Chains A and B, each alone.
Chain A
Amino acid sequence: MIDLIGLIVAIPLVVAGVNMLAGSRLASGPSSRRSRWNGWFATGAMTLAFVIAAGALLELLSLPAEERTRIVTVAEWIRAGAASVSLDLRVDPLSITMAMVVTGVGSLIHLYAIGYMEHDERPWRFFGYTNLFCAFMLVLVLANDFLLLYLGWEGVGLCSYLLIGYWSDRPDAARAAKKAFITTRIGDVLLMLGLFVMWVHFGSFEFDTVLGHEGVLPEVAAGTATAIALLLLGGAVGKSAQLPLHVWLPDAMAGPTPVSALIHAATMVTAGVYLVVRSHALFEVSEVALTVVAVVGLAGALYGGLASIGQYDMKRSLAYSTMSQLGFMFLAAGLGFYPVAISLLVAHACYKALLFLTSGNVMHGLHDEIDVRRLGGLRRDMPWTAALFAAGALSLSGLPPFSGFFTKDAILDLASHDGRTWAYVLGTIGALISAWYIARLFFTAFLGTQRYEGHAHEATPLMRAPLVALAIGGLFIGLWLAFTPEGRLATFLEPTLGPLEEGTAGPSTPVLIAISVVATLIGIAVAWSLYRPRNAERWISFPEREPGMAGVLGHAFYVDGMYAWVVGNVGLRGARALAWFDGAVIDGAVNGVGRLALGAARLAPIWQSGKVRRYALSFLAGGAALLLYAAVRV
């Protein structure tokens, strides 16, 4: 199966092409039937990719741990002089874990989207884009060198743009798509610069050359490593919506909900975490960069959590929650707990996709209503959805024995044992906030009295089935991945990421577990006291009573507004000054040359008077001058 790994990129790519080029013609009948046809086709491709990935995983597991890195050459890609880049796919524990997430969660989301997109006019476009996205994402995670990784990186960015703006007739979707593309572009440029520095220093993009292998660190000065690592981190920050390039993620929720679940929760936004974890050797050579990763992650975790509390739009709240969870992943990576970052990534992909898709159920059942102030009491009309959302919320909140506990709280536990008290304390506050915002969403949307009009119809069984699978995964995958004391996933990832070292500092593990459970319970209790059904009037009128506080949280500390001010004032003025300089100085110089020639040309015809006698005089004067010259010279 490992030798067939190229197929898991090729199948979604080909099916995407077929769907986009011929999807409208391949099926006949009413639009809903056509939509099913396109959707099943795309889902089938993803499922096939999942089966191949699972086969490759099983084959990898049957090998001894040292031989679990296989490189499959597809073709030579670029040859320029002595330099050559080949199209290699790398199958190792890390990449196959990522491929399993992409294909597994991807298949379930595609299955869900068949029902969700049934009323869409042109579903072949949607499924074509999502399959194309999956193909690029698989290129990203399976690449054996940074150049191919970058190809996938830009490809998923493109698909993200296309899918956020999928409903291109809505101005907010079109704006959000542009915003997402431009903001992540800033990070992409930094990543590209990082690749340039890498090429200058190593003369290669291959992981084995750049990152060293079998525990040997790459031979590179700490300064160079810091430069490359920080530039790579810049790319990761843009893609994973961390401070300060996070502003695109909440707006990206203008896309269809399956897109939010697939791209902006489960897969693409985690590419940044993958990049940092994959190139951890460079970050380790430069201690500074690793600390920066941890600080950025911690700041994002707290910021995203606080901003999430202030949102009334369920999907925006979940988007900030995603940012916060990604922050925890960066924190784990920055502290050196790479396997834990990856296990949080896997668990988060399941439960956050689940949370997004349940909010998609709400939108599907209530004509796109998503504001919790106008929801409430949904558990009566949508018992399945309410139960599934509760499962997602439990997984995220970090109560044992669910996934959040074994992944997010494992980070805090390790941080404390490692003697990083600052990370532990702030991280625990972040965990408390996580429990708070997710419980808030559940209490406000699903409990209490009904604040919407009419009847919300429950999702169809076809849409519920993938959610049940995601709920089971979301609840228990953390437990499964961490079953043995060292962590099953951690052992599996050891050949790629090195051993997970556990310190002995600080309080013992049972104490830490007790603290984290209490913190989670406090978060839920705070949410209950503020948002329980009896308090509906109070929290709905909160912005009127406390406009300052509600504004700060609701607008996520006005970062967006600050950017708008900076770009709109300083940036615009700078641009105008440059435009003036361009017009007056640069164009002026070019036009000046032209004017000079024109002026000279206007002077010349003075001699061309048309008066014969003047010509005769010139002639005579010339002759006389010549004679005079001859006379003087002799």
Chain B
Amino acid sequence: MRTPIAYFLLLSAILFAMGSASVLLRRNALRIFMGVELQLNAVNLSLVAFSRMHQELDGQILAFFSMVVAAAEVVVGLAIIVALVRRTSTTDVDQAGVLRG
């Protein structure tokens, strides 16, 4: 018997919530970044789960794209964090508020 889709979606939701909490509550840029990754992977999980439910490959292909883009995004994101640390010698995002209007 197959595992019902609800379990996958539930896990995905839990992961997404954890990621969101990490993004919203943490101040360390790296931890926020990890939260973002967690959110992305939660979404990937639900994509794959829906793909399996519908017996089609679209969702899995989309998940691959998402992973590739996420990898590229990590490169850019980490570069920004490194630049931030070099400039302010802190990873606290609340300190980086020079764009305040």
Decide: A608 and B93 in contact? CB cutoff 8 A: no
Find chain B residues with CB under 8 A from A608 CB.
Answer: 99-101
Q: Cβ of A610 < 8 Å from any Cβ of B?
A: yes
Find chain A residues with CB under 8 A from B94 CB.
Answer: 611-613
Decide: A610 and B97 in contact? CB cutoff 8 A: yes
Q: Chain B 73-101, CB within 8 Å of chain A: the 1/0 string?
A: 00000000000000000000110111111
Find chain B residues with CB under 8 A from A610 CB.
Answer: 96-101
Find chain A residues with CB under 8 A from B24 CB.
Answer: 613, 616-617, 620
Find chain B residues with CB under 8 A from A607 CB.
Answer: 101
Q: Which B24-70 residues sit within 8 Å CB-CB of chain A? A: 24, 27, 32
Decide: A609 and B97 in contact? CB cutoff 8 A: yes
Q: Cβ of A485 < 8 Å from any Cβ of B?
A: no
Q: Cβ of A81 < 8 Å from any Cβ of B?
A: no
Residue of A nearest to B99 (CB): A610
Bound together, the chains give a CA A606 to CA B24 distance in angstroms of 19
Q: Is the interface of A mostly helix, strand, loop or mixed?
A: helix
Decide: A612 and B100 in contact? CB cutoff 8 A: no
Q: What is the minimal beta-carbon distance from B32 to any residue of chain A, in angstroms? A: 8
Decide: A612 and B93 in contact? CB cutoff 8 A: yes
> Count of A-B contacts with CB under 8 A?
38
Given A605-B101, A607-B101, A610-B101, residue A620 in contact with residue B96 (CB < 8 A)? no
Chain B, interface residues (CB within 8 Å), range: 10 to 19
Q: Which A591-617 residues sit within 8 Å CB-CB of chain B? A: 604-613, 616-617
Find chain A residues with CB under 8 A from B93 CB.
Answer: 611-613
Bound together, the chains give a CA A616 to CA B96 distance in angstroms of 14
Bound together, the chains give a CA A608 to CA B23 distance in angstroms of 19
Residue of A nearest to B39 (CB): A620
Q: What is the minimal beta-carbon distance from B60 to any residue of chain A, in angstroms? A: 23
Decide: A613 and B97 in contact? CB cutoff 8 A: no
Residue of A nearest to B98 (CB): A610
Bound together, the chains give a CA A613 to CA B32 distance in angstroms of 9
Q: What is the minimal beta-carbon distance from B39 to any residue of chain A, in angstroms? A: 10
Find chain A residues with CB under 8 A from B32 CB.
Answer: 612-613, 616
Q: Which A575-634 residues sit within 8 Å CB-CB of chain B? A: 604-613, 616-617, 620
Q: What is the minimal beta-carbon distance from B78 to any residue of chain A, in angstroms? A: 16
Find chain A residues with CB under 8 A from B97 CB.
Answer: 609-611
Q: Which of A604, A609, A612 gathers the greatest number of chain B CB atoms within 10 Å? A: A612
Q: What is the minimal beta-carbon distance from A67 to any residue of chain B, in angstroms? A: 89
Find chain B residues with CB under 8 A from A611 CB.
Answer: 93-94, 97, 100
Residue of A nearest to B23 (CB): A616
Bound together, the chains give a CA A612 to CA B99 distance in angstroms of 10
Find chain B residues with CB under 8 A from A616 CB.
Answer: 23-24, 32
Find chain A residues with CB under 8 A from B101 CB.
Answer: 604-610
Find chain A residues with CB under 8 A from B96 CB.
Answer: 610, 612
Find chain B residues with CB under 8 A from A609 CB.
Answer: 97, 100-101
Find chain A residues with CB under 8 A from B27 CB.
Answer: 613
Residue of A nearest to B26 (CB): A613
Bound together, the chains give a CA A606 to CA B100 distance in angstroms of 9
Extra contacts, 10 of them, besides A608-B99, A609-B100 (Cβ < 8 A), are A607-B101, A610-B98, A610-B99, A611-B93, A612-B94, A613-B27, A613-B32, A616-B23, A616-B24, A620-B20
A residues touching B (Cβ–Cβ < 8 Å)? 604-613, 616-617, 620
15 example contacts (A-B, Cβ-Cβ < 8 A) are as follows: A605-B100, A606-B101, A608-B100, A608-B101, A610-B96, A610-B99, A610-B101, A611-B97, A611-B100, A612-B32, A612-B94, A613-B27, A613-B93, A616-B24, A616-B32
B residues touching A (Cβ–Cβ < 8 Å)? 20, 23-24, 27, 32, 93-94, 96-101
A-B residue pairs, 8 tightest by C-beta: A608-B101, A610-B100, A605-B101, A610-B97, A612-B93, A610-B99, A616-B23, A609-B100
